[in-house]
Amino acid sequence: MILLTHSVFVVAVTGTFAQHVWPVPYKRFDYRPKTDPYCQARYTFCPTGYPDGQIPAMKDEDTIEVFKLQAPVWEFKYGDLLGHFKIMHDAIGFRSILTGKNYTAEWYELFQLGNCTFPHLRPGIEAPFWCNQGAACFFEGIDDVHWKQNGTLAMVTTITGSLFNQMAKWMKEDNDTGIYYETWTVQSTPEVNTTIWFESYDCSKYVQRTFRKLADLGAVFTKTLQTNYTRIFLYSGEPLYVGNETVVFGPGENKTAATEIRNFYSPFRTPWSVREFLINLLSIYDEVVLRKEFYLFYNFEYWLLPMKYPYIKITYEEIPLP
């Protein structure tokens, strides 16, 4: 289990100084903006979900069973393939004892993972364009086969209908204010007690966040179930603040930084041939491993990561229930 060690950094921004604490806090918003028509999903987001993130109310006297759900990422397309590499998707299940109805809650990308992790570089427009929104999906039913066959469907606690309704209100607020997906966890080393620079914001964090909220509201979780989550790490020295889109690409832009950021993201675009794929792969290796540079887009701001060995790692580590 990774333990957070906080440290302080100071950056100069347009002549003033702003003080922050590592990890950089995930920025929340007053409301969820409409998505840009340029962003198109290959697979429809939340096709059977309740509109506008609504969650049906339960009767106060009801008993609700709560389940941890986990299955390989993109199982609908690749079966259990990614499960062999412990690349898993997480969700939460609910079952009303009073009505017998089941429900699923999950948080994931509106426009698939690639669009959340890397931007589009559009001809004639200098600034990279991001389709990186993520959101919660709440729908009736639990696909038992999907979760059980290659993953997990396990009850972790029971709550009252009243507590469920309190959680549902929090879920709506959380969804309206946390609007973008973040793939990477960035930290100094793979060791415990290391400094975490940036936290991810993905499906697993949604499950952990919801479980913590339930615990705060009074839910008591089983201690017999081991709960593991997939995490994707980048390892770097202390990140260097570059600026937001206006600073880097707007009037009076930082031309050097703007060029380097576009060049960095260029190899991550969808390749049109095997040859282009191999060239792009070599370019990525050159940037990340040889030049030891990675540009991170976080809170709608750009950061330069001075990369360190082992550079990138996918883990499947235990994070206990509250």
The 3-state DSSP composition of the chain as helix, strand, coil percent (nearest 5) reads 30, 35, 40
Which residues are catalytic, by number?
89, 203
Cis preceding-peptide flag for 320 (omega within 30 of 0): no
Q: Are 196 and 186 in contact (CB under 8 A)?
A: yes
Output phi, psi for 21, to 5 deg: -120, 135
71 DSSP β-pair partners? 89
* Residue-by-residue DSSP string for 225-292: ---EEEEEEEEESS-EEEEEHHHHHSTT--HHHHHHHHHHHGGGSPPSSHHHHHHHHHHHHIIIIIS-
196 DSSP β-pair partners? 187
How is residue 312 written in tokens? 């990138």
Which of 19, 104, 22, 15 lies closest to 68 in space, CA to CA?
104
Residue 226 has a CB neighbour count (10 Å cut-off) of 11
